[in-house]
């Protein structure tokens, strides 16, 4: 059995919560939601059945992680970001939208946020996109398409603004090379993509 903290006002119905995770006030985790180890789920968050949250993830106040959303290891989600999982939403309870067998159309569109990426406060992520490793979505951005690894995107619709280091600070590209002023990690830009030199 996992050893994790649940605030007295939180409701956790899932058996899939990792060791060392903290779930704070007025948050709700449905049965079938998965949360890894050493995560922090802040106040007023909701994790739906089928949502997958990896290890070492930080989710700040007021976030809702829906079915079909995957947050990989080390993702940071700022306050009140908005995830979606249906590009053409309707209430399936409306009788004329139900199929003859009582079913509804296949509406779920998965979204993946890759390892180490940051989702800024009040940003909106349209269903079906992939946020690359260590990418950064600026506060208030509306993301309608995939984001490359190490890319900082801003605006509505979001567009590439500059490259960022694994540590989160902006990089200055000199030709095709970049060295982070803070941590000294080295990068190469090639074909519109950035990769870190090991």
pTM of this structure: 0.94
pLDDT of residue 97: 77
User: Torsion-angle region of residue 87: left (phi > 0), alpha (psi -120 to 50) or beta?
Assistant: alpha
**Predicted confidence band at 145 (pLDDT cuts at 50, 70, 90)?**
very high
pLDDT of residue 71: 98
Residue-wise pLDDT tens digits, 159-183: 999 999 999 999 999 989 999 999 9
* Mean pLDDT of the chain, nearest integer: 95
Average pLDDT over residues 134-144: 98
Rounded percentage of the chain residues whose pLDDT exceeds 70: 98
Q: What is the C-alpha separation between 150 and 76, in angstroms, rounded?
A: 14
pLDDT of residue 102: 64
């Amino acid at each position: 059995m996992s050893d994790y903290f649940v605030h007295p006002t939180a409701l956790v119905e899932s058996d899939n919560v990792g060791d060392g995770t903290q779930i704070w006030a007025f948050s709700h985790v449905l049965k079938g939601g998965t949360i890894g180890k050493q995560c922090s789920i802040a106040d007023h968050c909701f994790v739906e059945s089928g949502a997958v949250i990896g290890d070492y993830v930080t989710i700040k106040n007021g976030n809702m992680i829906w079915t079909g959303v995957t947050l990989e290891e080390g993702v940071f989600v700022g306050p009140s970001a908005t995830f979606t999982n249906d590009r053409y939403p309707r209430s399936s309870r409306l009788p004329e939208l139900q199929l003859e067998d009582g079913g509804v159309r296949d509406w779920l569109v998965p979204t993946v946020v890759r390892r180490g990426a940051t989702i800024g406060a009040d940003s909106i992520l349209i269903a079906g996109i992939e946020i690359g490793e260590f990418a950064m979505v600026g506060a208030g951005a509306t993301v309608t398409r995939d984001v490359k690894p190490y890319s900082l995107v801003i605006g509505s619709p979001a567009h590439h603004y500059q490259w960022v280091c694994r540590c989160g600070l902006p990089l200055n590209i000199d030709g095709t090379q970049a060295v982070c002023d803070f941590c000294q990690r080295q990068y190469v830009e090639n074909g519109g993509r950035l990769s870190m030199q090991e």
